[in-house]
Chain A
Amino acid sequence: MDISKKKKIFITVLACFLVVFLAFKLRLKNYDKIPFFGDSMDEYSYSWVGLSLIELGFPVGNSGMTGGYPFNDSRYINLDRVFQGPSNGIPFKINYPWFDHPPGTGLITGGFAYFKGARVFEDVGIFLIRKPMVYIGTLTTFLLFVFAFQVFGLPTAIISSLIYATAPIFVVSSRMIQAENMLVPCFLLSLIFLFQYFKKNREIFLWLSALAAGSSLLFKISGISIILTNILLLLSLNKGKTKKTIKDLIVFIPVSCSFILFFITFGLVYDAQIFWNVLISNTDRVYGIGAQAIYQLINSSPVTEGKFLTDGWIISGWISFIALSFNKNKAKISWIFIPLLTYLSTYLFFGSFAFGWYRIPLYPFLSISLGYLIYSNLKKMTNFITSFILIMLPTGFLVNEIYAQFIQTNSSVWRLLNLILIILFIFLDTNLKIPKQFKKIANLLIIGLFIFALYLNLQFNQIIDVDYWYHIH
C-alpha cells in the first residue's frame, strides 16, 4: 500500500472517529433531562414491554390505540416522579398483551434496564432507558458517515455527518426512545450493504442488505419503507438488466419480508384476536398530520407533541433536496432520493398525529443532501449564493437565539456583513471571467461560514437545558 493511500485511510478513520465522538458527547449531555421525561409516555411504554417480556414472558405496556384492547388497567407507576409534573395526575393506562408495535425497541431499552438491575416498572427511569439511545444515535452517525463516504466521498461524508452530529434537533430527537430511532440504523445499514453489492457484485451483500432492511420490521411496521427503498433501488440501478433484477428480487423480497413473521408469531402466541383488533384499530387513528403535512414538514420542527425546536438545518436540507433533483448524475442522487421519497410516502400514508419522531428517518438523508450540495458547489467553485443561503438559514436562527442582544446592539454590522457577502457571491456567480483566486477566497468564506454554523450548533446544544426546554412550545 503506498503512502498516499495510507494517509487517505488515516484521514478518513480520524475524521470518522472525531465526528462520531462529537456526536456521542452531544447526545450524552443532558440525555436524561432533555426532552423532559413524560414528554412522550411511549418512552416508558416501550421499555415496559421489553422488561415484562423478560420478566413475565408477556408484553405489557401503555397503548395509544386503546380501541383495540378489551380493557385498560389504570395504574399509578410513579417512575421519575412523573406525577409531580407532566402527567397531569392521569394514571397510566396499561394494556396487555401489548401489540402496538413489534417489541424490538422495548427489548433493547427494557433489556438494558434489566441488565442494569431494573426488575419492576417503577425501576425503568429515564436515566436508565435512554442510555442505549445515546449509543444508537452515535452508531447512526457512524453509519451515516460510512454511507455518505462510499456513495459521495470523504468531503460529503464529513460535512453531512457533522451536520447530523451537531444540529440541535437531530441531537435531541435521537435521544428519544422511539422506534424510528431504531429504523434509521437499519435503513443506513441496508443501503451500505446494497451499495457494496452493486460495487462488488457479491451476493452476500444482497443478503446482508435484505437482513438489515427486514430487521427494521422488528421495530415498527413502517420499516416496510426500508424494504421498499431497497427494492426500488434494485429496480432503478439494475435498469435494463431484467434477469439480474428478477434474480436479485427473488433473494431480497423473501429474506427481508420474512421478518414480518416474527411480529405475526408474536401476536399469535399471546392473543390472535386482540392482535388483529389492534392492527385494525390503526385505521381509526386521526390523520393528524393532515393535508398540510408536507408544508409542515418544512415549516415546523416538532420534537415531541408540544415541543418545537426551530432549526434551519431541516429547511436547508429540503431546499438542497429539491436543488439536487436537477443534478445530472441520477444514479448517484437516487441513493438519497429514493430513501427520502419512499419514507416520505410512508409517512404520508401511515401518518397519524404530527409527532416529531415520525420524521426522524428523514433527517440523515436531509443531512446528506445538504452536505453533498455544499460540497458540490465548493468543488465546482460555483453557486456561492446557494451555499451561502443554505448555511445562513441555520446560522441566522442560531445567532438570533444565542446572541440576540449582541445582534440588536450591533445590527448595522450584521446588516452590512450580509449585504457585502450577498453582493460578492452574486457577483462571483454571475461573472464567468473571474480569476480562480477570487473563487478560492469565496470558497474559504463558505467553509468559514460552515465552521461558524457548526460552532453555533455546539453553543446552542449547551444552551438547551431544563430551563430552556421548559420555555419552548
Chain B
Amino acid sequence: MFLFLRYRYQRLYSPEKLNDLLITQSKFKDITQDPCQYHINGDPLGIDDRYIKIKLYCHPGEESFNTLSLDVFKNKPTYTEAIQELSRVNGFPAVFKENNIDSLGTLKNTKDIIWSCYIDQNLSDNLDTVVRNAATIDCFYGVKRFNLEIYGYNGYK
C-alpha cells in the first residue's frame, strides 16, 4: 500500500495540477454574462484588514457588493487582479485594456458608455496599482462621473 500510494503521488502530483484543481471553474457552473448577478457576501472574519470591497454598479438598482479576502493571493494583488479573481469566483468573463476594465460580462465599454472605477471614492485611471488593505473600489457602468447621482452616490472625486 505504501509503495502504491507513493507511486501514484510521484506520478500524478505537481503544484500546478494542485492549483488547477483548486481554481479551475466548474463545467457544471452557470457562467453568467451579468457581473451583478452574484456576490461574495459578508465581511471575512479573523483576517483583520486583509480584504478589499469590490462594488459593481451595472445599472441603477443592479449592483453586486463583494468582499474579497487578500489571503487568497500569493502576493499583494493589483486592483485588476482582484477584479479578475472576483470574475473567476462569481463566474463572469472580465476583459481589461490599458489598465482599466474593458468589459465585464456583456457590459462592454463603448464610445459613450464606459466602466469608471473609484478607489476609495477617487476616480482611478490605472487599476494596475497594488491594492491597499481594506480599500473599497466602486466600478460604475454606463455613467460618467458627473451623473453618478443617478445611483444615489455623491461626494466622489
Q: Which residues of B contact A265 (CB under 8 A)?
A: 1-2, 5
Q: Judge whether B1 and A262 touch: CB under 8 Å.
A: yes
Asked if A122 and B25 sit within 8 Å, CB to CB, the answer is yes
Which stretch in A74-82, A205-213, A339-347, A376-384 binds the other chain?
A: A74-82
Give bound CA distance, A78 to B148, whole Å: 32
Residues of A within 8 A of B38 (CB): 81, 83-84
User: Is there contact, CB below 8 Å, between B45 and A90?
Assistant: yes
What 1/0 mask marks residues of chain B from 64 to 79 whose CB sits below 8 Å from any chain A CB? 0011110110000000
Chain B residues 54-87 with CB under 8 Å of chain A are 66-69, 71-72, 85
Q: Using a CB-CB cutoff of 8 Å, which residues 10-32 of chain B contact chain A?
A: 10-13, 17-18, 20-29
| Given A55-B17, A89-B69, A125-B28, CB of A269 within 8 Å of CB of B6 | yes
Inter-subunit contact A76/B12 (CB<8 Å): no
A84 touches B41 (CB 8 A): yes
Within 8 Å CB of A87, what residues of B? 41-42
Taking the closest CB of chain B, its distance from the CB of A55, in whole angstroms, is 6
Residues of A within 8 A of B6 (CB): 269
How many B residues, CB 8 Å from partner?
42
User: Which stretch in A56-64, A137-145, A156-164, A325-333 binds the other chain?
Assistant: A56-64
A60 touches which one: B8, B21, B24, B89 (CB < 8 A)?
B21
Q: Which of A224-271 contact B (CB under 8 A)?
A: 262, 265-266, 268-270
- Residue pair A91, B71 in contact (C-beta under 8 Å): yes
A58 to chain B, nearest CB (A): 5
> Does A219 make an interface contact (CB < 8 A)?
no
- Are A94 and B5 touching (Cβ within 8 A)? no
A79 touches B44 (CB 8 A): no
Bound complex: CA A88 to CA B67 (Å): 9
* A78 and B13 contact, CB distance less than 8 A: no
Tell me if A42 is interfacial: C-beta within 8 Å of chain B: no
Name the A residues within 8 Å of B12 (CB-CB). Answer: 55-58
Collect the chain B residues with CB atoms within 8 Å of residue A56's CB. 9, 12-13, 17-18, 21
B38: min CB distance to chain A, Å: 6
Q: Is the CB of B5 within 8 A of A90?
A: no
Does B35 interact with chain A (Cβ within 8 Å)? no
A window 15-62: CB within 8 A of B:
51-52, 55-58, 60
Q: Is A96 an interface residue (CB 8 A)?
A: yes
Asked if A14 is an interface residue, CB under 8 A from chain B, the answer is: no
Task: Tell me the bound Cα distance from A457 to B89 in angstroms.
Answer: 40
What are 9 A-B interface contacts by the 8 Å CB criterion? A55-B12, A57-B8, A60-B22, A73-B22, A74-B72, A84-B40, A89-B43, A89-B67, A265-B1
| Given A90-B69, A117-B27, 10 other A-B residues pairs in contact with their CB atoms under 8 A | A58-B12, A60-B18, A83-B39, A83-B40, A83-B41, A96-B18, A120-B20, A120-B24, A265-B1, A269-B5
